Chains A and B, each alone.
Chain A
Amino acid sequence: MIEVKGLSKRYGELMAVRNVSFEVQRGEVVGFLGPNGAGKTTTMRMITGFVPPSSGTVRVAGHDLESEPNAARRAIGYLPELPPLYPEMRVADYVAYVAALKDVPRAERPAKVEKVLHSCGLESVARNVIGRLSKGFRQRVGLAQAIVHEPEVLVLDEPTAGLDPVQVAEIRNLIRDLADEEGRTVILSTHILPEVEAICRRVLLISYGEIRVDGPLEEVRGAGTLEDVFLREAGPVPGTPAAALEETNA
């Protein structure tokens, strides 16, 4: 479903992402881990086509992002770190607008909007103005806009950040349903490790722009905990300039 090959992103001197390759199969839920600034968001932005890679290729649902950008974009649902909401709009109008942007045929829009409002638990606030909603509801609206066009691939950037435990549980259930019942492929970034253990079957760990760990959750965890793995792998690779810098700072 997602095929990433040799993906790199350079911002001036800084290599934000270097030579990242991985594949995600249909129905997989992948936890994308890494410390802040490791390149998670940049990688996700390259997968969704917001940021063009400096080198490397991305294929989503069989469509190359460079040669068939629109087909690839239609296959992706994307929830950025900051949900892209218009505070002055009403929830149902907003979701319908996103459906129009994502090429959902006009005749199918009302049904799809209604369906997604139901699955995200937004029916009670459908006529409310987004700006007056609580953070939990806003996050759900963000998720609703990501899935309204029923994309095969979901890219979620920290979908549960800043929510209370009940809301976190709701969002997690929703994501799990999307993968298990509807067969959607999900890649979600987070630094909440229990979240990965709760919903992901596979772990990708990125640090200093490089993939450090890639494997099924059970295998990666091995005998220890995910936290051990994270602490061991998230540091700079010994012998690299980044490691030398860390040492001088310490």
Chain B
Amino acid sequence: MRHVGAIAARELRSIFATPVAYVLLAVFLVFAGYIFLLGLGFFLQQIEQIQAYQMFQMLEQFNLNHAVIAPAFGTFAVLFILAVPLLTMRAFSEERSNGTIELLMTSPITTWEIVLGKYLAVLATIGLFVLCSALYPALLFFYGDPEVLQTLAGLIGLFGLGAALAALGCFVSSLTSSQIVAGLVGIVGGLVLWLFDLMADAAQAEALAEPIRYLGIRPHFEGSLQGLVRSEDLVYFTLSVVFFLSLARASLESLRWR
């Protein structure tokens, strides 16, 4: 496992040596900021209305976490589905088209070390995205009084979602030498994972609906918006990372047989 650090460090430098990561981060921040501002504007409008009609009992259930931060994080999650595959698409596709995969696979290192090194670099970048997402709710702490822990739970949810999507993206990237294909398939895969629980409604038997609901990523993420960091959700995120990284490893190993 001692090569993981070297691979991750090189990967991280490569991610930030090309403009892709910066452009993604900038576009993400612009959209996220706009969505956050819209949510906040709507919130202030409603507060004014409540005051105008003297319905003060409604203020009880009306707070910044519920009305602004949670919906904004919900939209950030959708932005993640679009952004994370664009970040991971180069992971293995580029190694394959450069021919550098041949260097890695003839070096005295294991395929796990390659996969983990790559993944850790992407994960660190996603951590940066989550930190940047935290900037917007952080501003609210200057002007209002949102719940710290509930906000943190939402950020943990975003990170878990990003981690799972990144593992999926790495796997997809290991399948093709075309970055564009990897990016597009990664986005579609992320959307399928996100909307998977909708299929539970179509399932006739409850015995079938329950596992389908569990497999979708959205229910696991949405718990965090209510301030819940449930162990079942953390287990889900961890399992999906392990699952997709194992697939990525298997797919890289299979390159030797072609």
Contacts and interface: CB of A to CB of B under 8 A. Distances in A.
Interface of A: 45, 48-52, 69-71, 73-74, 76, 78, 80, 82-89, 97-98, 100-103, 145
For chain B, what secondary structure do more than half of its interface residues adopt (helix, strand, loop), or is it mixed? helix
A88 B109 CA distance: 23
Nearest to B14: A88
B258 to A, nearest CB: 8
B257 A74 contact: no
A89 B105 contact: no
A80 B13 CA distance: 24
Given A84-B98, A85-B98, A86-B14, A100 B103 contact: no
A70 B2 CA distance: 14
Interface of B: 3, 6-7, 10, 13-14, 17-18, 98-109, 256-257
Given A50-B256, A51-B256, A101 B104 contact: yes
A130 to B, nearest CB: 10
Contacts of B104: 101
Contact of B6 (A45, A84, A89, A97): A97
A87 B98 contact: yes
A98 B100 CA distance: 11
Q: Which of B13, B104, B107, B256 has the most CB of A within 10 A?
A: B107
A52 B3 contact: no
Contact of A84 (B17, B102, B109, B257): B102
5 contacts: A84-B98, A88-B18, A89-B10, A89-B14, A101-B7
A145 B17 CA distance: 21
A101 B17 contact: no
A100 B6 contact: yes
B107 A101 contact: yes
A50 B14 CA distance: 24
- The 9 closest A-B CB pairs, nearest first, are A84-B103, A70-B108, A82-B99, A100-B6, A101-B107, A84-B100, A88-B17, A73-B108, A48-B106
Contacts of A52: 256-257
Given A45-B102, A102-B107, 20 more contacts: A49-B105, A49-B106, A50-B106, A51-B256, A82-B98, A83-B99, A84-B98, A84-B101, A85-B98, A85-B99, A86-B10, A86-B98, A86-B100, A88-B18, A89-B10, A89-B13, A89-B14, A100-B6, A101-B109, A103-B108
Contacts of B6: 97, 100-101
A69 B105 CA distance: 11
A73 B107 contact: yes
B107 A50 contact: no
A51 B105 CA distance: 9
Q: Which of B13, B108, B257 has the most CB of A within 10 A?
A: B108
A76 B106 CA distance: 9
Nearest to A73: B108
Nearest to B109: A101
Contacts of A145: 103
Contacts of B101: 84
Nearest to B94: A86
Contacts of A51: 256-257
A45 to B, nearest CB: 8
Nearest to A81: B99
Contacts of B18: 88
B98 A102 contact: no
A93 to B, nearest CB: 8
Contact of B10 (A50, A80, A85, A97): A97
Contacts of A80: 99, 102-103
A86 B15 CA distance: 12
B177 to A, nearest CB: 12
Contacts of A100: 3, 6
Nearest to B18: A88
A50 B108 contact: no
A78 B104 CA distance: 11
A88 B18 CA distance: 8
